[in-house]
Amino acid sequence: MPLLVTIDARSKADAEVIAAVLPGRPEAKSWRGYGVIRLHFRKATEMRELLRLVGECVEHHELSWARVRIGDDERMFRARSRRAQV
């Protein structure tokens, strides 16, 4: 059964950064001021790679946050401040 995945971000610009690293180059849209990417997957195993890509993208680009929702499950990613690591 296909799985619907929604990725929310602080802005459409942040969502576009995330969409650029995802397979298939999905389109980022804006909804109520937030950035949104919607994807469909056939297998739950494809989710592991998606979560890894989103997490790495948030860290690398120091995005404020991104939330991945898969059905009723939700995972939040936040960049660790590089200033705090210095």
Please check the confidence at residue 84 and state whether its pLDDT lies above 50.
no
The domain defined by 3-85 carries CATH number 3.40.390: no
Q: What is this structure's pTM?
A: 0.85
Model confidence pLDDT, tens digit, residues 6-42: 999 999 999 999 999 998 889 999 999 999 999 988 8
How does residue 63 score in pLDDT terms, banded at 50, 70 and 90? very high
pLDDT of residue 82: 58
Please enumerate, as own/partner, the contacts of 55-59 that have beta carbons within 8 Å and a separation of 24 or more: 56/21, 57/17, 57/18, 57/21, 58/18
Amino acid in position 37: I
Mean pLDDT of 61-73: 93
